[in-house]
Amino acid sequence: MSGTSEMSLPPEWNDDERMNFMFSEFKENRDVNTTDWDSKMDFWTALIMRSCRRRGSVIVNLQDLNKTFQRKEKTPLGLSTVIQTMARCGKIQRESEFAASVDWGGFPGVWGLLLVKPLKWTFSTLLGSNRVPLEESFVVIELVKEKAAELLKVYRSSDFSSCSIISFQELCTLASNICADESTLCMALLQLQKDKLVIVSLHEGEKIVKFCQPGQDRVSPVSDVDIGIYQLQRSEKLLEERVQKLSLEADRCKEEARILLRDGKKTQALRCLRGRKRVEKRADSLFAKLETIRGILERIAQSQTDKMVMQAYQAGVSALRMSLKDVTVERAESLVDQIQELCDTQDEVNQTISSGVTAADEDMDELEKELKALLDESEPDVNTSGLPAVPKNRLGPAGEQILSPLPDVPRGHLHVTADALEEELNRLTLSETGSPQRKATSPERRAEAAQ
């Protein structure tokens, strides 16, 4: 660990009186002064967590803590008590105990692969010592869970997410930005394996890690299919590297032949070109094998997709069968009949309501006609000749003329006396006798009218 000068320290760190109390031993009996005892414990617990987060580590030991928290050449005397108290509270756990709590899925011999310093605490524990060994490592539970979540997130966002199994070395490179050292990575993997999200195994002496794939609640055991896919992916990567290397070598031979030809060394240039042809032939052969492997991997991926689709279909059929368990054709027909009956009832109600509104409208029309008749009667009659009034033209909505209706032909009996008829006859006779005079004078009148 590095010194406190590289870490953000609390304000009281510069208070000598306060720090003398913090650097002193804890009282054997906490009940003597619980306030002071708890304040000192909270101070060192928070400082230890802050130090681990700054370093990106999840493992602490007493020796490193004593070096980290030195102040004016003084070492805290109560850190051993702090470690023991944090262990009793479950905030930290011995490294080997933490590894032993992991279910290795039938591979108990693999658990030592991820432990850098296994079982260093056993003998002191068996001897019943209450002191914490200086080099004994403890895992900070809160921090190791955070690192495990970060590691899983980094894996799923990387190019390796399509590979369910990757090598431990590839994982070290992938997690270099989140895990300060290999021990931190191992503890994060142990936490993930404890959560059933990864499995660490051995294949031909190489440590491999299988991750839980998206959509799965837990990782499945490493199968022969997984190993076969892993070997194909390793072969694909190896062939890609070789093809790339041969391509660079062919380009180098071509450039060298060009330089020799420029210098007039035709024979050597031809030799370089022959070498380039051989390299390209080998590259083509390897590339053909690479394409074959890629085709196999694509078919495997397609088969896995088909399997997932079939499982989804099966789940859908089961769910549909359960949802239609109480549904029958007879019930559906009954419901449709009930709906039709209700719709008919609603139509009748609507028709009844509409007819009531229409009657009201008709009454309103009659009232308007009666009102118009009253208005016509109230108008003064200017026709004194006894003749029917001349019909007046009215304009329609489109501007066309609408002729007023002619008066009705009288249908009653005429009350005319004989004397009245005789008087009318005499008047007609007199008018015929005076007609020539009117005719003679007519031209004169016309002349006067023309002047």
Q: How many CB atoms lie within 10 A of CB 408?
A: 7
Q: Which two tokens stand for residue 227?
A: 């190993």
Q: Which residues pair with 59 in a beta bridge?
A: 139
Task: Write out the H or E segment, with its range, that includes residue 247.
Answer: helix 224-262
Phi/psi of residue 337, nearest 5 degrees: -65, -45
* Residue 207 to residue 113: CA distance in whole angstroms: 8
Q: What is the DSSP letter of 89?
A: T
**Contacts with 13 (C-beta within 8 Å, 6 or more apart), sequence order:** 4, 19, 71
Q: Which residues pair with 93 in a beta bridge?
A: 139
Cβ 185 vs Cβ 56: under 8 Å: no
Which of the residue ranges 63-77, 124-138, 142-156 would you say has the lowest mean pLDDT? 124-138
pLDDT on residue 222: 87
Which of the residue ranges 306-320, 362-376, 425-439 would you say has the lowest mean pLDDT? 425-439
Does the pLDDT value for residue 147 go beyond 90? yes
* Residue 13 to residue 20: CA distance in whole angstroms: 10
Phi/psi of residue 206, nearest 5 degrees: -110, 135
- Collapsing DSSP states into helix, strand and coil, what is residue 24? coil
Structure-model confidence comparison of residues 212 and 308, the more confident one? 212
- Give the end-to-end CA distance of the chain in Å, rounded to a whole number: 141
Each domain of the chain, given as residue ranges in start order, spans: 11-95+126-139, 224-349
| Mean pLDDT, rounded, for 326-340 | 86
* Residue 66 to residue 139: CA distance in whole angstroms: 17
- Name which of 271, 291, 267, 268 is nearest 279 in CA terms: 271
Structure-model confidence comparison of residues 410 and 302, the more confident one? 302
pLDDT on residue 442: 47
Which range of 93-107, 110-124, 325-339 scores highest in mean pLDDT? It is: 325-339
* Residue 341 to residue 349: CA distance in whole angstroms: 13
Question: Does CATH number 3.40.640.10 belong to domain 11-95+126-139?
Answer: no
- Backbone dihedral region of 90: left (phi > 0), alpha (psi from -120 to 50 degrees) or beta? left
Structure-model confidence comparison of residues 204 and 279, the more confident one? 279
pLDDT on residue 181: 85
Q: Which amino acid is at 231?
A: Q
| Mean pLDDT, rounded, for 315-344 | 86
pLDDT on residue 137: 87
Q: Which amino acid is at 292?
A: T
Share the mean pLDDT of the chain. Answer: 78
Does the pLDDT value for residue 425 go beyond 50? yes
| Mean pLDDT, rounded, for 344-354 | 87
Taken in order 40, 44, 50, 54, the sign of the CA dihedral is positive
- Collapsing DSSP states into helix, strand and coil, what is residue 51? helix
Tell me: the pLDDT tens digits for 9-33? 788 888 888 888 888 888 888 877 8
Give Cα 176 distance to the centre of its chain.
30
Does the pLDDT value for residue 415 go beyond 70? no
| C-alpha dist (Å) from residue 336 to 58, 325, 329, 343 | 67, 19, 10, 10
Does the pLDDT value for residue 420 go beyond 90? no
Q: Indicate the pLDDT class of residue 8, thresholds 50, 70 and 90.
A: confident
Here the contacts of 311-320 (C-beta below 8 Å, separation 24 or greater) are: none
pLDDT on residue 384: 46
Does the pLDDT value for residue 140 go beyond 70? yes
* Residue 381 to residue 121: CA distance in whole angstroms: 131
| Mean pLDDT, rounded, for 196-217 | 86
* Residue 116 to residue 114: CA distance in whole angstroms: 6
Which of the residue ranges 4-8, 54-58, 203-207 would you say has the lowest mean pLDDT? 4-8
| Mean pLDDT, rounded, for 116-121 | 46
Tell me: the pLDDT tens digits for 236-283? 889 999 999 999 999 999 888 888 888 888 888 888 889 989 999 999
| Mean pLDDT, rounded, for 341-360 | 78
pLDDT on residue 3: 54
Tell me: the pLDDT tens digits for 99-110? 888 775 544 444
pLDDT on residue 247: 92
Does the pLDDT value for residue 1 go beyond 60? no
Tell me: the pLDDT tens digits for 296-320? 888 888 887 888 888 888 888 888 8
Does the pLDDT value for residue 366 go beyond 90? no
pLDDT on residue 388: 54
DSSP string, 253-273: HHHHHHHHHHTT-HHHHHHHH
- Name which of 158, 144, 84 is nearest 114 in CA terms: 144
What is the pTM (predicted TM-score) of this model? 0.59
Q: What is the DSSP letter of 117?
A: S
pLDDT on residue 109: 45
pLDDT on residue 245: 92
What per-residue string of b and e applies to 164-199 under the rule 16 or more CB within 10 Å gives b?
Answer: bbbbbeebeebbeebbbeebbbbbbbbbbbbbebbb
Does the pLDDT value for residue 405 go beyond 60? no
Give Cα 68 distance to the centre of its chain.
45
Q: Which residue, chain included where needed, has tokens 């005892």?
A: 37
